[in-house]
Amino acid sequence: MIASILEWLTSSATWSGDSGLGARIVQHLWYSLLAVAIAAVVAIPLGLWVGHTGRAKWLVTLANSLRAVPTLGLLFAVALWLGPKFSSDLAFLIPSVVVLVVLVIPPILSGVYAGVEAVDPAARDAARGMGMRGMQVVRQVEIPNALPLILSGLRSAFLQVIATATVAAYVGLGGLGRYLIDGIKTGDYVSTAGGAIVVSLLALVVDGLLALVQRAVVSPGLTGGTVGRSRRGRVLPEDTTATGEARERAMDGVRGPAGGMSEVGGTVDTPKA
């Protein structure tokens, strides 16, 4: 079985043609990117507003409750409702994208809201004290400090949508879900297993690329990886005290009694007159 799957994955016949593996991957990524882009347009401004103002926090709870909705059942319901209103491929594309958008709004909204809410109030007060107002505080203080959680929400959204975009095949669209649906119908379990493996690998590759982007755009002071610093890169008071004590101990080792000099770490008696 494993040998058959590897042969299927490496065969040129699998990759060639408009319905080949390469074309299916492009279709799968198109559905995923479209859904995440639409969800981000909705969820990011909403999360910034809720986190900045502290109002309508129930929207975050409501969005998270959508995670419990069965994806396949929602897809069929939306397809029956919206499908007849559109012609050609839009009758299948729009219901699928709507369902995927509903799926990925919660992680994006939660990430943005949590990131903005976690910003140190002292940072906001300092910004306002410098004359910043409204959107200036959001753009120059809250978004940079919330960026790690915002990007984490986007990474989670991409993982979920890539894994779930296979449901688009149930309503006649392409993507990697075709291998799963068609393989089960025809009893071709090699292509079914191969499609599932490709979906998993695609999710891991996309998440790895997003992790590299996150590492490149997020300030090291916000990642928690800087020793002796707070999450915003400020030297903590206790670190300053410890540094001062260490400096005093070092100087005591250099200065000898009565103004004489000693070796570092020891003392030498000054000769008496």
Phi, psi of 107 (to 5 degrees): -65, -35
Q: Are residues 23 and 134 in the same domain?
A: yes
> Which residue reads 């991957």 in tokens?
25
- Weakly modelled stretches of the chain, pLDDT under 50: 224-273
> Exposure string (b/e) for 252-261, b if CB count within 10 Å is 16 or more?
eeeebeeeee
Residues 139 and 172 in one domain: yes
Does 1 map to a domain?
Answer: no
Same domain, 218 and 253: no
Instruction: Tell me: do 164 and 259 sit in the same domain.
Output: no
Report the alpha-carbon distance of residue 40 to residue 101 in Å, rounded. Answer: 9
Please indicate, yes or no, if residue 228 is contained in any of the structural domains: no
Does residue 143 share a domain with residue 42? Answer: yes
pTM (whole model) above 0.95: no
The pLDDT value recorded for residue 211 is 92
How far apart, in whole angstroms, are the C-alpha atoms of residue 124 and residue 53?
12
Whether residue 2 lies inside any domain: the answer is: no
**Domain limits at 249?**
235-268
Looking at residue 218, its pLDDT comes to 84
The whole-number pLDDT of residue 152 equals 92
- Based on the domain organization, do 121 and 239 belong to the same domain? no
Regarding whether 139 and 252 lie in a shared domain, the answer is: no
Each residue of 202-235: pLDDT tens digit? 999 999 999 999 888 887 766 543 333 334 444 3
Domain-located, residue 87 = yes
| CATH code of the domain containing 115 | 1.10.3720.10
Task: Please tell me the total count of domains within the chain.
Answer: 2
Query: What is the distance between the alpha carbons of residues 9 and 171, in angstroms, rounded to a whole number?
Result: 25
Q: Residue 224: what pLDDT? A: 44
Q: Are residues 198 and 259 in the same domain?
A: no
> Is residue 247 a part of any domain in this protein?
yes
Residue linked to tokens 């915003």? 232
Beta bridge partners of 229: 235
The reported pLDDT for the residue numbered 15 is 92
Residue 223 has a pLDDT of 57
